[in-house]
Amino acid sequence: MALQVNDADFDATVLKSDIPVLLDFWAPWCGPCRAVGPIIDELSTEYEGKVLVAKMNVDENPSTPTKFGIRAIPTLIIFKNGEAVEQITGAVTKATIKDMLAQKALA
């Protein structure tokens, strides 16, 4: 399962992570978010120890999504060394996310 992140622990968990982070901005009422959710959980297992896979509920945590200009969900952002290095919005396939991770997180 993906790690649940909130506004309070975002900096410590995501920005200061020793490994790249894939963060899924989502909400429970969002259909495309529910479609991507199981993929995110699968990736958290597949990339354990290589990429920290996390989720943030935008309804419960408004500050961080605002800071990163999140206007649509689901939005996935890869953070590496405290910087947002890639972003993709909308329901995408597992293959698309894996390609993004290979190019931006693990390169």
Q: Kindly name the residue from 2, 14, 22, 30 that is annotated as catalytic.
A: 30
Cβ proximity of 37 and 90 under 8 Å: no
Active site residue 33: yes
- What Rg value do the Cα atoms of the chain yield, rounded? 12
Q: How far is CA 62 from the centre of its chain?
A: 15
Active site residue 30: yes
- Write the secondary structure of 85-99 as one string of H (helix), E (strand) and C (coil): EEEEECCCCHHHHHH
Q: Kindly name the residue from 33, 51, 100, 105 that is annotated as catalytic.
A: 33
- Active site members: 30, 33
